[in-house]
Amino acid sequence: MRHSYLAAALQMTSGPDVEQNLNQLTDLVELACRRGAILIGLPENFAFMGDEQQKATQAPYIATAAERCLRTLAQRFQVTILAGGMPVPADNHRVYNRALVMTPEGEIAVAYDKVHLFDVNLPDGNTYQESRTVVAGAQLPPVYHQPDLGAIGLSICYDVRFPELYRHLAKVGAEILFIPAAFTAYTGKDHWQVLLQARAIENTCYVLAPAQVGWHYPRRQTHGHAMIVDPWGVVLADAGDQPGLAMAEINPERLAQVRRQMPSLQHRVF
């Protein structure tokens, strides 16, 4: 039987300065490790949050610098890092929005390119066209199986609105759903927590949801409230509205108990 362990969901205010972002990341990872976390999730856009065209142009540098930083931190602290979305060069001056798992050995175990792109006109007047600079991934997200941590299913931000993606992850064995985000302040206040709880409840999984928070550049504000949610839908930790951490215990016995009491995954008809 696996033992319980501590996980951390980081909350950052990333901006256009890559070095500054990676310094902020290093401080938060160090804090999480000092508090005993061995699984650490980073938000979407942790390495760069700025002008979209600038992101596409700088992608080779951002990806290289971010990967080097992740490898160093994972090896230094001997932890598993779930990196929640960074630009990786694709084609025609566009990028993939890629999440990955960095092992304590400093190796990339699995990666996932975001499939659902955020092309939305919000009532607050803001328009988002992620597809202008991002190429959608073409593969379902993977589940990373690690004996001490459990089975972790990857996703990124806007994916949280598509329950079929998480049903797939649960069907192939996920016990923890990784949902890193840079959720807009406007949608976040109404939808963020309820969507995370729904994904946890309907799939009887833990949810690890790191987040961006605050103002990143003019007209770009994110909601914050990085969370860890248990398989019953209980919010175990909430990072609030400032940079920091949400930390909680991932307990395999609790997961097994909820799945015994509410065996809905076994009762699917369709």
Pairing status of strand 143-146 against strand 150-153: antiparallel
Task: Residue 260: count other Cβ atoms within 10 Å of its Cβ.
Answer: 9
In the 8-state DSSP scheme, what is residue 147? T
Q: Which of 33, 69, 157, 205 is catalytic?
A: 157
Using DSSP bridges, classify how beta strands 211-217 and 220-223 pair: parallel, antiparallel or unpaired.
antiparallel
Element (H, E) at 84: strand 80-89
Active-site annotation holder among 44, 55, 175, 205: 44
Continuous H helices in the chain: 18-34, 52-77, 163-171, 185-203, 252-261
Q: Is 157 annotated in the active site?
A: yes
33, 55, 67, 114: the active-site residue:
114
Are 246 and 215 spatial neighbours (Cβ–Cβ below 8 Å)? no
Which residues have C-beta within 8 Å of that of residue 218, sequence separation ≥ 6? Answer: none
State whether residue 41 is helix, strand or coil. Answer: strand
Nearest Cα to 10, choosing from 231, 249, 228?
Answer: 228
Residue 130 catalytic? no
- Return d(Cα 115, Cα 98) in angstroms, integer: 10
Positions annotated as catalytic residues are 44, 114, 157
